[in-house]
């Protein structure tokens, strides 16, 4: 699957922590897609493998209906076996070059980076895009070090692949990322932690588009 950097404008990362009793992950993902999410990452840290596989297949099919790329977080073997559009790995996961060898040349490979050196290495090893952060304090990752605006900008300038910012991003602080060179943002609670997911996604997409276009 070819990746267009426009696909990365509003990158939604799932988190079942925010589910209410009357919701399923499928239903909240569908609301985000209706609201205009342009990319979907399935992130499951504790789900049993068989259930993860079943869920992944269902959500991949849902994303395909909206023509939105679908990737799995961390679990390279599952991404390959269920034929996801790609996979996203962090610095503590499998090396990007090994992931690329495993998923083949046509799948999307996203890599988390926190420094210019990590960014350049990921690009050299076959990454299609980079996720850089945390750009603001975040509650979803206790060990996430903050990446300064200057570092984010330097990373964008040092690579030829698209860069998205992640970590603590909200509708209110998104404009502060303008001028960094990113092509989009990745969020969890700014979409899935909101009462009206569809409307929150719609508003966040508009704000993000304005931020990206502002030089």
Q: Say which of 107, 112, 180, 205 is annotated catalytic.
A: 112
Q: What are the φ and ψ backbone dihedral angles of 151, each rounded to 5 degrees?
A: -70, -40
Do the beta carbons of residue 72 and residue 79 sit within 8 Å? yes
Does the active-site annotation cover 92?
no
Q: Say which of 16, 34, 120, 141 is annotated catalytic.
A: 141
Does the active-site annotation cover 178?
no
Q: Say which of 31, 43, 60, 107 is annotated catalytic.
A: 43
Cα-based distances in Å from 44 to 184, 187, 197, 210: 22, 15, 19, 31
Distance CA 74, CA 87 (A): 7
Angle, CA of 65, 165 and 179, to the nearest 5°: 115
Distance CA 154, CA 142 (A): 25
**By C-alpha distance, which of 183, 171, 210 is closest to 38?**
183
Do the beta carbons of residue 110 and residue 130 sit within 8 Å? yes
Does the active-site annotation cover 180?
no
Distance CA 147, CA 153 (A): 10
Three-class secondary structure of residue 82 per DSSP:
coil
> Which residues are known to be catalytic?
43, 112, 141
């Amino acid at each position: 699957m070819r990746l267009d950097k426009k696909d990365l404008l509003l990158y939604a990362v799932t988190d079942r922590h925010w589910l209410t009793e009357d919701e399923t992950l499928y239903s909240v993902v569908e609301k985000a897609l209706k609201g205009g999410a342009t990319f979907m990452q399935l992130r499951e840290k504790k789900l049993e493998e068989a259930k993860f596989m079943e869920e992944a297949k269902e959500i991949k099919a849902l994303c395909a209906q909206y023509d939105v790329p679908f990737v799995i977080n961390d679990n390279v073997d599952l991404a390959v076996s269920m034929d996801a559009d790609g996979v996203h790995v962090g610095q503590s996961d499998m090396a990007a070059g090994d992931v690329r060898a495993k998923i083949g040349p046509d799948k999307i490979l996203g890599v988390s980076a926190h420094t210019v050196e990590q960014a350049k290495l990921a690009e050299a090893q076959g990454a299609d895009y980079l996720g850089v952060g945390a750009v603001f304090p975040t509650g979803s990752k206790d060990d996430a070090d903050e990446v300064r605006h200057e570092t984010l900008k330097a990373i964008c300038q040092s690579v030829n692949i698209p860069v998205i910012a992640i970590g603590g991003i909200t509708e209110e602080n998104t404009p502060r990322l303008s001028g960094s060179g990113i092509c989009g943002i990745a969020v969890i609670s700014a979409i899935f932690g909101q009462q009206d997911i569809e409307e929150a996604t719609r508003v966040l997409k508009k704000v993000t588009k304005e931020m990206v276009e502002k030089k």
